Chains A and B, each alone.
Chain A
Amino acid sequence: MTKWLVLFRKEWLEMVRSHRTLWLPASFILLGASQPVTTFFMPDILANASNLPEGAVLQFPTPEPFEVLASALSQFGVIGLLLVALSSMGILSGERSAGTAAMILVKPVSYASFVTAKWAAAVLLAIVSFAVGYGAAWYYTGALFEPVGWREVGASALLYALWLTLVSTLTLLFSSLLRSAAAAAFSSLAVAVLLSVAAGSLPFEQSWNPGRLSTLAASSLNAAARPLGGGIGSVWLTAAVTAAVIAAALLVAIRSMKRRPSEA
């Protein structure tokens, strides 16, 4: 356990020294806040930009506050996921090809600790970044539109954090399997997209599909839309399946490092 903490601290220190602990949360805050802000100013922007005939009156329906927050989530779903995947795409392959993994793994350290400490640090930063970003979106939505209840926001944040953890874990998994960091980022994003698309388009019941999580998070913002799709039991099922997938991905990553701790 002490060794695990030593490994974890090293990962965190590396993220601090490379300024990832600054730019990733900052990006999420700016992304999250920009959604309510641009929505708020959209009528002015459009009015100034378009050459409307004299006297024309633009009518915009003011969006519901939960819709603004949901659009912040969909922003995270594209750019946020991209940032999370890109920032940790070389998490294992980089150490393997540089030879640092071999330097560490000849010390009496378990492979499981080596992999899970890295995973925990990457996931923690992703979740913290998302939390502050979503917090910013929530605050700005409340200030510029109407406040959204903390229960709804909390539930959606938990669901979304689980989704983010899954994507982060997939990036780590592919980073252990593939030599190229870019390929690892691409693969994890592709899997995330496939799961989401399948959840949204296939015509049968998919309580098991973790790709449902982002939609569930968005719809749980709307207090009127409760109970959530399929009921609370099916949400638990989705969460359980996601947790199982995460655990399995970690096991595979550990095995992959055991089998091939260095490139040569």
Chain B
Amino acid sequence: MALLTVDQLTKRFERETAVDGIGFAIGEGRCVALLGPNGAGKTTTIRMLTGLLPPTSGTIRFEGMKPGQDRREWIGYLPQTPAFYGWMTGREFLVYAGQLCGLSAKEAASRADMLLKRVGIDTAGKRRIAGYSGGMKQRLGLAQALIHRPKLLVLDEPVSALDPIGRREVMTLLGELKSETTVLFSTHVLHDAEELCDDILILSKGRLATGGSLSDIREANRQPVLSLETEGDLRSREWLAGWLKRLPDGLEAASATETGVRLFAGDLETARRSVLRELADNAADVRVSKLEIGYTTLEDLFLKAVSGS
């Protein structure tokens, strides 16, 4: 069942359209990645969901929300670089955030203690936030987003500002959290999305390029691909340039360099045979260093979706 349904969401700024009529649904309990290069409209989309930015048009609807109810009650949000009051302690901020979400002082305090432990900064809870490291602030940011048990946890590039160790720690934490609540997080790193998510939404230039469950998308876009590398000597290069001009039917160059080529194939077996034959016929000229025959990865799809539209 869909927890959140977004329809025809659009944001136009004075000069550009940052988000252009996107629509998607987020199923309850799913972990969804909003994927796209920088400037694709990820942050704008997230800011509209959280209510920080009024949409130009379109609707954002939570299933089961009473009419007139504040959407923010259901959302926990961690911005790209969370900001805190440096003069507060981590625990004080969590209690403050909890009370602003409508928890009683007592409830907020017990949630705060629980979450400080949960994100692994309970020893720093009584210290001023001004002295926290970037990784600690990110964890505190996660804790404050979770303080009111939100139905949807929204994270904007949660790991992109962290060093490799902090990144790994937060990723592990997110892996645990996703079993507890619905998660939407944006990233420009495909690998992070693949590691954590059930569903992906790929944004490109403000439009939704593709979306769906990770396995479906992988399946639907699985295409045979051949990748060939030569040693790059003169004769190999000449052969390669010539061959690319007379590629047999069912082969299509995806990307080519002077020394190698990546080819999409209609049918894997035909393609394999025709490439091997071609190589055998030119065995004297071509110094093959690598030949790989397999299927497209999500990376190919991501690059295609991002550059294509």
Contact = CB atoms under 8 A, between A and B. Distances in A.
Interface in B94-111: 96-97, 99-102
A103 interface: yes
A109 interface: yes
Interface string B76-102: 010101111101000000001101111
Contacts of B12: none
Question: Mostly helix, strand, loop or mixed at chain A's interface?
Answer: helix
A6 to B, nearest CB: 4
A98 B137 CA distance: 14
Contact of A6 (B43, B72, B81, B100): B100
A202 B83 CA distance: 48
Contacts of A10: 85, 96
Contact of B99 (A3, A106, A261): A3
A102 B83 CA distance: 8
B144 interface: yes
Which of B77, B79, B100, B101 has the most chain A CB atoms closer than 10 A to its own CB? B100
Interface residues of B, number: 24
Contact of A106 (B43, B50, B87): B50
Contacts of A3: 99-100, 102
Interface residues of A, number: 22
B134 interface: no
Contact of B84 (A18, A103, A107, A108): A103
A99 B81 contact: yes
Nearest to B76: A106
A107 B99 CA distance: 10
A109 B100 contact: yes
B163 interface: no
B75 interface: yes
Nearest to A18: B87
Interface in A1-37: 2-3, 6-7, 10, 14, 17-18
B84 A104 contact: no
A262 interface: yes
Contacts of B165: none
A100 B87 contact: no
A108 B72 contact: yes
Which of A6, A99, A103, A105 has the most chain B CB atoms closer than 10 A to its own CB? A103
B63 interface: no
B87 A14 contact: yes
A14 B85 CA distance: 9
Contacts of B100: 3, 6-7, 104, 107-109
A107 B83 contact: no
A103 B102 CA distance: 16
Interface in A228-264: 261-262, 264
A262 B97 CA distance: 18
A34 B68 CA distance: 57
A100 B97 contact: no
Which of B50, B73, B83, B84 has the most chain A CB atoms closer than 10 A to its own CB? B83
Given A3-B102, A6-B100, A106 B84 contact: no
Interface of A: 2-3, 6-7, 10, 14, 17-18, 98-100, 102-109, 261-262, 264
Interface of B: 43, 50-52, 70, 72-73, 75, 77, 79, 81-85, 87, 96-97, 99-102, 144, 148
12 contacts: A6-B100, A10-B85, A99-B81, A99-B82, A102-B52, A103-B83, A103-B84, A104-B97, A104-B100, A105-B51, A106-B77, A108-B100
